[in-house]
Structure 1
Amino acid sequence: MTNAVFLGMALLLASIAGYWVLGRGTPRPTGTWAMGALLGSFAMAFASYAPLFRNVAESIVPHVGRLLSNCASLGAATAVLAVSFQLNLEPYEARRRIRVRLALLTASVVTMTALFAYEQLTARSPQVYALYLLPYISFLGFSVVDFLMQAVRQSKATRRDSIRGGLRVAAAGCVFALVYVVYKLTRIVGLGLGLGDETHAQCSSLVTSTCAFSVTSPALAVLLICLGLTWPAVLYPINQARRRRWETRSFESLRPLWQDLSAAMPQIVLSSAEDVDSISDDSDFGLQRRVIEISDGILALRPYRSRRVQESAASNFHTATEQGAAAVEAAVVRAALADSKAGRYADEVAPPSVDAAAREDLRADTQWLLLVADAYVERVGDDGRP
């Protein structure tokens, strides 16, 4: 079971890393190589946790699985910071900080490798193992705290829900990583005082006391940080598809109101008829154009907007609700269209809808006009009554 979990995750992450680096075309966005290194390092870390991988590696060099696992963890921690720096800092500052982290990583790996080789060539002792752990856990703890602070700060500043959620998931992964760091620090202290040894029991279960701290915690940290950093990229195409679907549906829902307005006032149409009947190529542009044309049409109807019709419609609908206010506006527009065709100006011009004036962006404008268009078709007659 343990082999299946860790090797399966390693294969999945390696596949994602390959797609991230090789399958995204050119030019590649900022952070592509750092994210590829992150995913590759995490894949290596997961593989090194698997007993099968350790057994094969240690059949060649005794105890080398520990060194490979620790180096993969440090590489993943450095890659996490590199991704964060490239996404959140100016290019020059990001490169400067990445160079510093790479220098620290190199120094830590060289020191660990030298101490590991010394262990292999001499009698192994708890004190030498404690010295081996010291650069490993120091750099790892520094990286985890550094990234945790960045993740918390950026999650408060970002406006995109997917990025905010992903950073919070990554921050949760940092908490599990800190549990692992604290566990390793206690081992360093114990080894340094001669209160323990460097022997490692194979983990057949992920929930036993020692394995929960030494294997399960770092594995959960790797999984959550990887998920948190890739979550926005995974959600982006899904959100884009949902957005295009909403834009297409909104475009069609606005058609009846737009057709009546454009038939009465052809000058509001911004392009030829064949272009406005379909938005398959650019749903955002098509919807924006339709919203502008309807808004221009409603504005052009201002001399025909009757205050009497507005007050009559207000008495028939619950104007305290957004749907009621939209029904009142639909009644005024329908009556104004009829009067414009007959050439009758309003005795007293109705003021613009307060709800329409409160909209500040395309989506809000569209949602308001969708309510008006629905009421225009379903809820009001030519006299402004239900």
Structure 2
Amino acid sequence: MISILFSAVAILSFTAAVYWARKRRAHRPAGSGVMCALLMAWAVAFATYTPVIGDAADSVVPSASRLLSNAATMTAATLVLVFLFQLNLEPEVAHRRTRWRLALLGIVFVSLAGFFAAEQANPSSTQYYVLYLCIYVSYFAMTVKDFLIQVWKQARNSRRTSQRLGLRVAAIGCFVSLLYAGYKIFVVLSLGLDLGLITAHHRCSALFTPARCAFSVTAPIVSALLIVSGLTLPAVVWPVSQYARKRWEARSFAALGPLWDDMSTATPEIVLDPTALDGGSHDPDFLLHRRVIEINDGVLALGPYRSLEVQKTAQSALAALSPQPKHPDAIVEAAVLSAAASAKRTGAVPSWPEAPQAPGTSTREGNLRAETEWLVQVSRAYRHSTVRVAAEQCGRVGGGSAT
């Protein structure tokens, strides 16, 4: 079971590395190369935990799988920090800090290799193994601590929901990594003080039994999965959210058709110059912005034609309905605008009391989504029977206005 899990995590990390390394039509996001290397390091680290690769390495040099795993783990921890440097800092500052971290990582590699060689030369002594662990744990804990500070700071300042969530998931992974580091410190103290609580070079065959395996094996797996998934989440969510946004824009553009037709027929001057598309004729965002602007211009132009009688008639007609329809304010506004547009088209001179704007107009957020959602409700309300009833009762058949 444990071998299958290690293999699955290694394959998953490798697959994620390929995802980050793939070519993109648009500009590659910052840190793509570092993230790819980070995932490859995790893949190597967990591959060495599998009996096939671990035993193969140990058959060449005893305990070589431990050295490979620790080296890959430290590399991954360093690259996680470098990844955040590239995202959060100015390029010059990020480059300077990255060089310092990589230089320190190189020194640690050399030190570990030296103590590992000394350990191989003196297999009966645990002194070199303890020194080896001291360096490994110290560097790993320091890197995780710095990474946690960067993640927590960025999570508080990020505006994107997916990024905030991903960074918080990565922060949880950091806490799990600190549990792993704490366990390693306990091992160092036990072996260094000869307490006999931990045996050196113990290999786990299960995730939770004995209990030490939960810290030495399970904790690194959980930590790696949380950190990698947390940092990858924004990159995965972004194209999905972009697709959803464009789909919403296209659907909203089509839903605004009835309202736009009425506004543009009554006030053709609101239609912007069709030759000024600037290449945006197929861009849903551009087209939706344009349609919303034109409709709002039409609503303003029809201001003097808004009939208070039509508004009250529509409100009374809605009050008599049971059950009450959704978005009653939008239905009333549709009746008012339909009557106003008809009056404008027939050349009527407005002499009736002007209807006030729909409730919530002044408090509605002035962004594209809020405006679009409101106008879509009004456009869909054109099909409601109340719009026709209000027109007929106010002396207009099929779209006129009260006079």
Q: TM-score, normalised by structure 1?
A: 0.92
Q: Which residue is 1:335 aligned to?
A: 339
Point out the structure with the larger helix share. 1
Report deviation, 1:373. 1.0
Are 1:298 and 2:268 matched, yes or no?
A: no
Any residues of structure 2 matched to 1:70-149 within 5 Å, and which? 70-149=70-149
Partner in structure 1 of residue 232 of structure 2: 230
Structure 1 runs, 4 residues or longer, greater than 6 Å off: none
CA-to-partner distance for each residue in 1:37-77, whole Å, 9 max, x for gaps?
A: 11111111221222222101111111011111111111111
The residue number in structure 1 matching 2:252 is 250
Tell me, yes or no, if the aligned pair for 1:327 and 1:379 is still in contact at 8 Å: no
1:277-288 superposed matches below 5 A: 281-288=282-289
| Structure 2 letter corresponding to 1:254 | L
Instruction: Tell me the amino acid that sits aligned with residue 340 of structure 1.
Output: K
Distance 1:352 1:297, change over 3 A: same
TM-superposed deviation, 1:83: 0.9
1:349 corresponding residue in structure 2: 354
> Residues 79 and 323 of structure 1: is their aligned pair in 2 closer, same or farther, counting only changes over 3 Å?
same
CA drift at 1:230: 0.4
How far off its partner does 1:90 sit? 1.4
User: Which residue is equivalent to 1:163?
Assistant: 163
- In structure 1, runs of 5+ residues without a counterpart are none
Contact 1:356 1:365 in 2 (8 A): no
How far does residue 185 in structure 1 lie from its aligned partner after superposition? 0.5
Determine if contact 1:325/1:355 at 8 Å carries over to the other structure.
no
Q: 1:25 to 1:312 in 2, by over 3 A?
A: closer
Equivalent-residue separation in structure 1 for 2:24 and 2:192 (angstroms): 49
| Structure 2 unmatched ranges of 5 or more | 394-403
- Tell me how far apart the structure 2 counterparts of residues 224 and 241 of structure 1 sit (CA, whole Å): 26
Counterpart code for 2:380: D
Between the aligned partners of 1:330 and 1:25, the Cα distance in structure 2 is 43
SS in 1 for 2:382: helix
What are the residue-to-residue correspondences of 1:1-386 with 2, within 5 Å? 1-24=1-24, 27-196=27-196, 199-208=200-209, 209-272=211-274, 281-317=282-318, 323-344=327-348, 345-357=350-362, 358-382=364-388, 384=390
What letter corresponds to residue 135 of structure 2 in structure 1?
P
Which amino acid is the alignment partner of residue 298 of structure 2? G
What is the DSSP-based 3-state SS (H/G/I as helix, E as strand, rest coil) of the residue aligned with 2:238? helix
Deviates most, 249-258 or 348-357:
348-357
Counterparts of 1:121 and 1:321 in 2: how far apart (Å)? Answer: 84
TM-aligned CA distance change 1:121 to 1:241, over 3 Å: same
Following superposition, the deviation at residue 322 of structure 1 comes to 8.3
1:239-262 Cα shifts (integer Å, max 9, x gaps):
111111111111111111111222
What SS is found at the alignment partner of 2:330? Answer: helix
Seq. identity, %: 46
Kindly indicate whether the alpha-carbon contact (under 8 Å) linking 1:305 and 1:346 is maintained by their aligned counterparts in 2. Answer: no
Secondary structure of the equivalent of 1:377?
Answer: coil
Q: Please give the secondary structure, in 1, of the residue aligned with 2:383.
A: helix
Farther off after superposition, 32-41 or 71-80 = 32-41
How far residue 354 of structure 1 moved from its aligned partner, in angstroms, is 4.3
CA contact (8 A) 1:137 1:184 kept: yes
- C-alpha contact 1:335 1:382 (8 A) present in aligned 2: no
Amino acid at match of 2:382: Y
**TM-score, normalising length from structure 2?**
0.88
Distance 1:4 1:158, change over 3 A: same
Q: What secondary structure sits across from 1:349 in the alignment? A: coil
Quote how far apart the aligned CAs of 1:311 are: 3.5
User: What CA RMSD, in Å, does the superposition of the two structures yield over aligned residues?
Assistant: 2.4
